[in-house]
Amino acid sequence: MVTELEWLRWIPLLPGAVAATHGVLLGLLRRPLSRGATIFLSCGAVLGSFLLSLAALWQLISLPEGKRFLGDTVAPWIGAGRFSADIAFSLDPISAVMILLVSGVGLLIHVYSIGYMDHDLRDDKGFPRFFCYLNLFTFSMLVLVLADNLPLMFLGWEGVGLCSYLLIGFWYSDRWNAYCGAKAFVVNRIGDFGFLVGIFLLFTAIAGVLPPERANEAVVFRQIEAVFPLIAEKTIQLPHWLGWLPGAPEWKLATLIGLCFFVGAAGKSAQIPLYVWLPDAMAGPTPVSALIHAATMVTAGVYMVCRMSFLFAEAPGASSVIAWTGGATALFAATLALVQTDIKKVLAYSTVSQLGYMFLAAGCGGYSAAMFHLLTHGFFKALLFLGAGAVILALHHEQDIEKMGGLNRFIPWWRPTHLCFLVGVLAIAGAPGLSGFFSKDEVLLAAYTAEHVPGHRWLWGMGLATAGLTAFYMFRLHFRVFFGAPRMKDAAKHAIHEAPSTVTTPLVILAVLSALAGLAGLPQLYGDWLQIANSNSLANFQAQALASAHVHEVPHVVEIQLALAAVSVATLGGLTAWLLYLRRPELPEKLAAALAVPYRLLRDNYRVDEFYDRVLVSPLVWISERVLWKGVDDRLIDGVAVLGTARSVQRLASHGLKYAQSGLTQSYLVLMLLGATAVVAYLLG
């Protein structure tokens, strides 16, 4: 069933080896590579991964449909009783799409970083370190995607979390950056806990129904999928204090496992309530935001849900939770993006919102729609971030859009920075014909037809509203940055220049992809119109790996109606932005003053961070400091156990034992005789 492909392991291992080389040279030997060598090795490694990914895809396609699996077992890894896992990689349709995205976009961002980090004024020794971390990240992400079994996927999962921390806090001499990195890591960790619990539950459930020699089938994805029907109908009894939960007192085991996995996905992919790290993650360099927080790491959660789609198909409760969380997050984050003034924060909240879309689709059973949106979002969001980076470079590290404006006088629309940014904005807003239009429509269609999710029509409405808001805030961003009166300092105006070609070339490539990627997943509606049979190549290709139990066919008329609704809402958003920021620029301030309270709330990000701090973080810190440190560690362990034993021994000696040393010869004689008598008695008796 699985075809062996020996060189599959080199896809993650090439960047991994380069990262290790950098690590040894920088960390142990303190001799960084030269700039040229760093570029050659790091970019070369990712290029190699990309080419190998293409070759692997070619091999995959040449296999017959339904049997498209490529595998590569490297070495045994864990063997502990019934539980065993190997270091093994496997390629199937969804992971093939992912590795192309990761290595392709990763390659573009590596090239972009050459130009971007050269202009880094803060730390010019960071060049090799940055590329080391980027390579390490690429390695971890590829391991995550290509992993054959759950523990190895978790290894990659942790690895990307680590690299996220390292890269967000890259300029660590500024404490705020280090704090943001730590925040990302800690919030991720909370999700990881859920992921682990899910793995344990799944393993226990499956190993419980299999004979011991087949127990390790509970970790490899393909084999879990094969034996999953054995436990699909199992239920568990909830304890009576959880009786208020819907569906109590009996829950499907699959639902519980699905929820645990979703906690992990929510942490990694920044859904409510674990999204708080993503806006602060913008403290890292812009290429990092583009790679990790737009195209790859945050999509790991979506990938994981799609990978386990066979589980979620059997767990309608968990799927509904996913769908509603995704939809709520999408709307919630979109409202927050309306009032941000940092160019990267707008894009960060936009990412959270779009990830919400992906989970909305996945929860509604539209797994291929989720993967499609993942792909297109990877292109246009990376494009937007890189474009923002180019703007930031042009204005010498200015990130506040209130201090930008009128950039089109210095960088006209036909220059790469401006044009590519415009393409990105159009794509994310869902302009017809561009990739975002098709993928968003697929997502909304999945929500509209998801009968198994309660209130799915409301979800569709939320998705529609989000689309409108998205168009609004993206055009707001574009107009504030590029149009209107210039609001920057005069000194800065003279220094504005277009970015170097290492920066602009990736922009152009991504713009082309953002525009044309829609063709990969062209819905059949348009396929019929253009007379292409089986036009949705992406969905067809991935059908082998994704569960499709809840796909409903709707008449083409309804599809067209839905598409028109989305386009009109987006147009409305765009026009509103044009009105408020180009025609009547004095209006936004008046609106803000009139709606002062909601505006304040939005500006404070709904005070979520403060809430978490009050309810979770401060009590935890208080307990750690007062109770565990001062109480237990200082007083109990140090005071009683360590110093206490020493003091009591000392007191015993100085108040008790010393009196034996009286100096009186005859006392000593008595003791000696007693001892001798004891020995003799022992020997005789």
Q: Which of 356, 580, 364, 340 is nearest to 454 (CA)?
A: 364
CA 306 – CA 296 distance, rounded (Å): 15
Q: Which of 308, 255, 271 is nearest to 147 (CA)?
A: 308
Closest separation in Å from C-beta 674 to other proteins: 6
* Paired tokens of 137: 């990240």
Closest separation in Å from C-beta 80 to other proteins: 58
Nearer to other proteins, 554 or 674 (CB): 674
Long-range pairs of 533-541 with CB within 8 A, sequence gap ≥ 24: 536/368, 538/97, 538/368, 538/371, 538/372, 538/375, 539/368, 539/369, 539/372, 541/93, 541/97
Nearer to other proteins, 595 or 669 (CB): 669
Nearer to other proteins, 627 or 653 (CB): 653
Q: Match 């004095």 to its residue by tokens.
A: 586
Q: At what angle do helices 93-118 and 367-394 cross, to 10 degrees?
A: 10
**236 beta partners:** 251
Contacts of 233 (CB under 8 A, 6+ apart): 252
CB-based contact 207:215 (threshold 8 Å): yes
CA 304 – CA 202 distance, rounded (Å): 14
Where does residue 54 rank: exposed (0-12), middle (13-18), buried (19+ CB within 10 A)? middle
Q: How many Cα atoms sit within 13 Å of 47 on the Cβ side?
A: 8
Nearer to other proteins, 593 or 664 (CB): 664
Closest separation in Å from C-beta 647 to other proteins: 19
Contacts of 320 (CB under 8 A, 6+ apart): 363, 452, 453, 454
Nearer to other proteins, 558 or 673 (CB): 673
Q: Which of 478, 484, 473 is nearest to 573 (CA)?
A: 473
Closest separation in Å from C-beta 661 to other proteins: 5
What does the CA dihedral 501, 505, 507, 511 come to, rounded to 10 degrees?
Answer: 150
CA 7 – CA 22 distance, rounded (Å): 23
CB-based contact 473:334 (threshold 8 Å): yes
Nearer to other proteins, 173 or 666 (CB): 666
Closest separation in Å from C-beta 645 to other proteins: 23
Nearer to other proteins, 534 or 677 (CB): 677
Q: How many CB atoms lie within 10 A of CB 410?
A: 19
Closest separation in Å from C-beta 666 to other proteins: 5
Nearer to other proteins, 62 or 661 (CB): 661
CB-based contact 223:217 (threshold 8 Å): yes
* The amino acid at 508: V
Nearer to other proteins, 594 or 681 (CB): 681
Q: Which of 460, 387, 456, 485 is nearest to 427 (CA)?
A: 387
Nearer to other proteins, 635 or 658 (CB): 658
Nearer to other proteins, 29 or 684 (CB): 684
Total number of residues shown for the chain: 685
Closest separation in Å from C-beta 684 to other proteins: 7
Note the residues at the interface with other proteins (CB under 8 A). 658-659, 661-667, 669-670, 673-674, 677, 681, 684
Nearer to other proteins, 632 or 680 (CB): 680
Q: Which of 208, 159, 196 is nearest to 19 (CA)?
A: 159
8-state DSSP, 498: P
CA 123 – CA 483 distance, rounded (Å): 32
Closest separation in Å from C-beta 678 to other proteins: 10
Nearer to other proteins, 80 or 684 (CB): 684
Q: Match 């992809």 to its residue by tokens.
A: 513
Closest separation in Å from C-beta 665 to other proteins: 5
Query: Alpha carbon of 81 to those of 73, 84, 142, 202, 215: distances in Å?
Result: 20, 7, 29, 17, 10
